[in-house]
Amino acid sequence: MSVNLTTVVVACVLIGTGTYLFLSRSLVRALMGFLLMGNGVNLLFIVASGPAGAPPIVGESDEPMVDPVPQALVLTAIVITLGMTAFVLALAHRARQLSGRDLVDDDTESARIHARAEADLLDSPSARDVTEQIAAGGELPESRHHGDTESDGEVGTTWRDGIPERGGGGRPTGGPGTGGGR
Amino acid sequence: MITPYAWMVPLVVVLPLVGAGLALAAARRTHVQRIISMTVLGAMLVLAGVLLWASDRLGPQVVHVGGWMPWEGIVLAVDRLSALMVIVSTTVTMGVLGYSIGQGRSSFDDESDGHSPLPVFHPTILVLAAGVTTTFVSGDLFHLYVGFEMLLAASFVLLTLGGTAERVRAGTTYVLVSLLSSMIFLIAISMVYAATGTINLALLAQRTGELPGGTVAVLHVMLLLGFAVKAAVFPMSGWLPDSYPTAPAPVTAVFAGLLTKVGVYAMIRTQTLLFPTTRFDDVLLWAALLTMVVGILGAIVQDDIKRMLSYTLVSHIGYMLFGIAVGSTVGLAAAIFYVIHHILIQTTLFLVTGLIERVGGSSDTGRLGDLARISPVVGVLFFVPAMNLAGIPPFTGFLGKVGLIQAGIDQGTWLTYVVVVGAVVTSLLTLYAVSRVWGRAFWSENPEGMTGQGPVRGGHHEALGLGVLFPTSALVAVTVALTFVAGPLYDITTRAAVDLMLREPYLQAVLGSGAGL
């Protein structure tokens, strides 16, 4: 089977650019990436369906018909992508309502445990102070269970600000848990 | 092939979908909604029981949807593996729904006004159940994908229930990772179709053998990648402990039980049916080892019980992968047994954590203490499944692990021995992780700030009502009861594994007698 090179190249470009956008921290950009990838994959199905031909309606034409199955699959995939897009848009909107931006935040609990492990490793008094400080910060997320969603954006900020202060321990800040600060 | 019970196969998908619609229509009548959901799940359980009996005695029950033949339309097929999975998944969904009903009106949402339960919860759980059973009964690769998307869409809604900042953050990670894995799966499907001209699993089983080795290897890798992300296999497991713990207890419980196991199921199905070679067995063994060890190392440092359990969830996926990767009937039988055990045990533990939250007001072990004295009932309910998870005899966790280790030693290569050692170490570390939680939450002194009688929500104290205790105890009882029926259950999983390895029974049921490889 010989394939249509243009379709393959377009599909590759769509999936490649989609993947790049998908890596973004911004939810809307990631969504755009998802859409591009989705369209690229749909084109891949068209490639998979083989050579072009008459519409797959029996009795309409004497020419060979195209394979109808991939078209049905693509239709289904498009509908599913639509539903997922709607959900992600709603999610991005909600994230913006809550924090004023649609960026993906770090997992603060991981950051806390990472900082505690480093503090144990260094075994310096100042590092211990930081651990306690973060542990005190650990009380904050619980307050979320009692309402007050407005302050949540602040909680994340406090933590991210709290961890860099550990610079007093003699180590540059960073690491997987804390490196995501912007 | 005799398939007199085949008419029941579509019902396990149709019933929850119809139920979801009815429950949504009855959104303002909580009682009607509850009756609908529980009736639907009860009916599914009965159907799945009959299907298990039928597939065990009469062979796989197959439906050609719409009368289309396998090379044109979708096929639904229920063999022993599918029927077992449907039974177990419906059981845990029922337990979780029972728990959420028992929580009462002010349950689901801390942040909502506390007066109205979210009306979308029941319909969404039913859609989730429909998606999960779709993947279990499907005999078609694209239909499998549609089942995945159904359960994913439902899980997105459940995970971000209430739309609080913490859940939106966790939900974002989960949604993006899930979308990516679906995309990989979809690309894999398009490649499979391009290479073979079909997406029917039985036809694929016949055709993959005729393809060039390199082509099959690419298809194999793509499918494995897509499923591995869903099943949270290391190194694609980072999303799970990040996103699960923030959801309400029943939601986390049902997720932990079902979603990753759907990925494992898809791996078992494709691995046995499409790729019966040993091509990537060594890679899978390494992945199994790393999943176990890295997962459990994550678990032992956690302070939060839910996060600890999420890491053990990742870790124990490694055991199932080990069973699949060994590639023998013994290994596969043990893996299926372990999947059943793990679905039940993980759901139960997350529900018990929900109880702990209700009693202690938190799931953070630093803020809990002395629970064994405050609430001995919760102590017993936590202790029994926790020991089961760690693999203490005579529970099913022990039996499953013994089966897997047996399979590994039978295989006898140095790599399987290494993984066997890893499995034993992981089991011990799991024991350490749960006993650490036990020591800190149940036996340590009561720390300041622990409320002792649960948080105040919606203006009244939530105590341990019978409504939440009963479903949780029922699930704990089921996990214990499995120990007593372990013999017959192991026989069924062994027969399932034998048929999966043979492939002929499935092919003949789907394609008609005379179909071979």
Q: pLDDT tens digits for B72-85?
A: 888 999 999 999 99
Q: Is B515 helix (H, G, I), strand (E, B) or coil?
A: coil
For residues B111 and A147, the answer to whether their CB atoms sit within 8 Å is yes
pLDDT digits (tens, 9 = 90+) for B196-220: 888 899 889 888 888 888 899 999 9
- Residue A150's pLDDT is 38
- Residue A136's pLDDT is 55
Window 19-58 of A: residues touching B by CB (8 A cutoff) are 22, 27, 30, 34, 37-38, 41, 44-45, 47-49
User: What is the rounded distance in angstroms from the CA atom of residue B138 to the CA atom of residue B85?
Assistant: 12
pLDDT digits (tens, 9 = 90+) for B407-422: 999 988 899 999 999 9
Q: Residue B78's beta-bridge partner residues?
A: B61
User: What is the rounded distance in angstroms from the CA atom of residue B103 to the CA atom of residue B347?
Assistant: 16
User: What is the rounded distance in angstroms from the CA atom of residue A147 to the CA atom of residue A162?
Assistant: 24
Burial B46-58 (b: 16+ CB within 10 A, else e): ebbeebbebbbee
Asked if A48's CB is within 8 angstroms of B191's CB, the reply is yes
Percent of chain B with pLDDT over 70: 93
- Residue B263's pLDDT is 93
Query: How do the domains of chain A map onto residue ranges?
Result: 5-99, 108-169
Q: For A165, which DSSP code? A: G
Percent of chain B with pLDDT over 90: 48
Question: According to CATH, what is the number of the domain A5-99?
Answer: 1.10.287
Which run of H or E residues covers position B19?
helix B8-25
For residues A66 and A1, the answer to whether their CB atoms sit within 8 Å is no
Q: Residue B61's beta-bridge partner residues?
A: B78
Residues of B in contact with A145 (CB under 8 A): 110, 455
Average pLDDT, chain B: 86
Average pLDDT, chain A: 72
Residues of A in contact with B176 (CB under 8 A): 22, 27, 30, 104
- Please give the average per-residue pLDDT across B288-309, as a whole number: 91
Start-to-end C-alpha separation, chain A: 50
Residue A89: Cβ-neighbour burial (10 angstroms; 0-12, 13-18, 19+): middle
For tokens 């991939």, the residue is A70
More confident: B462 or A123 = A123
- Residue A127's pLDDT is 54
Give me B80's structure tokens.
């022993």
Question: Is the torsion defined by CA of A124, A130, A131, A132 positive or negative?
Answer: positive
Burial A112-149 (b: 16+ CB within 10 A, else e): bbbbbebbeebeeeebeebbebbeebbebbeebbeeeb
Which run of H or E residues covers position B62?
strand B61-64
User: What is the rounded distance in angstroms from the CA atom of residue B338 to the CA atom of residue B341?
Assistant: 5
- Residue A154's pLDDT is 38
Measured N-to-C along each axis, helices B329-360 and B466-484 cross at an angle, to the nearest 10 degrees, of 160
Q: For A54, which DSSP code? A: B
pLDDT digits (tens, 9 = 90+) for B54-77: 988 888 888 888 888 887 888 999
Asked if B304's CB is within 8 angstroms of A48's CB, the reply is no
pLDDT band at B460; cut points 50, 70, 90: very low
Asked if B165's CB is within 8 angstroms of A149's CB, the reply is yes
- Residue B249's pLDDT is 84
pLDDT at B255 over 70: yes
Which run of H or E residues covers position B508?
helix B504-511
DSSP letter string, B437-492: HIIIIIIS---TT--SS--EETTEE----HHHHHHHHHHHHHHHHHHHTHHHHHHH
User: What is the rounded distance in angstroms from the CA atom of residue B367 to the CA atom of residue B340?
Assistant: 33
Whether a cis peptide bond, with omega within 30° of 0, leads into B10 is no
Q: Is A177 helix (H, G, I), strand (E, B) or coil?
A: coil
- Please give the average per-residue pLDDT across B451-477, as a whole number: 67
Q: For B115, which DSSP code? A: S
- Residue A97's pLDDT is 85
Measured N-to-C along each axis, helices B121-137 and B80-102 cross at an angle, to the nearest 10 degrees, of 170
Give me B262's structure tokens.
């759907």
- Residue B451's pLDDT is 54
Q: Left (φ > 0), alpha (ψ -120 to 50) or beta: where does B83 sit?
A: alpha
Asked if B242's CB is within 8 angstroms of A110's CB, the reply is yes
Across the interface, of B149, B190, B301, the residue whose CB is closest to A41 is: B190
Residues of A in contact with B308 (CB under 8 A): none
Residues of A in contact with B157 (CB under 8 A): 87
Give me B126's structure tokens.
């039913």
Q: Is B238 helix (H, G, I), strand (E, B) or coil?
A: coil
pLDDT digits (tens, 9 = 90+) for A94-139: 888 888 777 777 777 777 777 777 777 776 555 556 555 655 554 4
Asked if A69's CB is within 8 angstroms of B164's CB, the reply is no
- Please give the average per-residue pLDDT across B440-448, as a whole number: 78
User: What is the rounded distance in angstroms from the CA atom of residue A158 to the CA atom of residue A105?
Assistant: 13
- Residue A79's pLDDT is 93
User: What is the rounded distance in angstroms from the CA atom of residue B275 to the CA atom of residue B270?
Assistant: 7
User: What is the rounded distance in angstroms from the CA atom of residue B145 to the CA atom of residue B190?
Assistant: 12
pLDDT digits (tens, 9 = 90+) for A18-29: 999 999 888 889
Window 134-163 of A: residues touching B by CB (8 A cutoff) are 135, 138, 141-142, 144-147, 149, 152-153
For residues B335 and B404, the answer to whether their CB atoms sit within 8 Å is yes
Nearest chain A residue to B72 by CA distance is A69
- Residue A139's pLDDT is 42
Across the interface, of B165, B189, B301, the residue whose CB is closest to A117 is: B301
Asked if B193's CB is within 8 angstroms of A146's CB, the reply is no
Q: Is B111 helix (H, G, I), strand (E, B) or coil?
A: coil
User: What is the rounded distance in angstroms from the CA atom of residue B463 to the CA atom of residue B456?
Assistant: 10
